[in-house]
A = this chain, B = another copy of it.
Amino acid sequence: MAHSDKPAATSPYELPPTPSRVNYSPIDATLRFLLFSASVVSVVLMVTSKQSQLVPVPGLPFAVTIPAKFNHSPAFIYFIAALSVAGLYSIITILASLSSISKAASSKTSLLLFAFGDVVMLGIVASATGASGAVGYIGLKGNDHSGWAKICDVYGKFCRHIGSATGVGLFAAVVLVFLSMLSTYSLYKRIRD
């Protein structure tokens, strides 16, 4: 691919070899749109996870309706904040990416800024996914050593939403890995020597 993509040289004796000026902006814009979709879906799944259940309370003769909501755990609040920031970031970079599709290629400075921004967003989204997954796992399995009881046998819908949101968050993190690699690779292909 690397060689076949080069534009035809005007003279066969021309030196140094012309660097590849393939425009990766369409792939970039597609990945950024995927990131935007994943961010929105995961935030919506997390926000709509509220579930109320009749739970027997020790010491009371009757069951009490207790809700489970995302804002009962700081990890889920951080998850929503992180994925919302990722969604906003993807909107801004989609516009920047679309504006360079029409040109011959993205400017090298915009590629550098994309690569920097993608790496920072990856750190935020990956840590949020880890935090949400760890708390969700305790909810699913409990932890006998700490005496933390599982809650997913009671709050099934809540846990399905948390688990799905975490999964989509992981997908967003993987998309950010590929986006960062694509920006770096586009810079690499511009080097002449």
Contacts and interface: CB of A to CB of B under 8 A. Distances in A.
A167 interface: no
A132 B169 CA distance: 17
Interface stretch (A25-33, A39-47, A86-94, A134-142): A134-142
Interface of A: 19, 66, 68-69, 72-75, 108, 111-112, 115-116, 119-120, 122-124, 126-135, 137-139, 143, 145-149, 151, 173-174, 176-177, 180-181, 183-185, 187-188, 190-193
A181 B117 CA distance: 10
Nearest to A173: B123
Contacts of A176: 123
A117 to B, nearest CB: 10
A193 B74 CA distance: 48
Which 3 A-B pairs have CB atoms at the shortest separation, nearest pair first? A130-B130, A127-B130, A131-B134
A185 B143 contact: no
Contacts of A127: 126-127, 129-130, 133, 173
A112 B66 CA distance: 53
Nearest to A124: B126
B191 A119 contact: no
Contacts of A177: 119-120, 123
Contacts of A190: 191, 193
Contacts of A75: 130, 134, 137
13 contacts: A19-B192, A72-B143, A73-B146, A119-B122, A123-B177, A134-B135, A138-B148, A146-B151, A148-B148, A184-B184, A187-B187, A192-B192, A192-B193
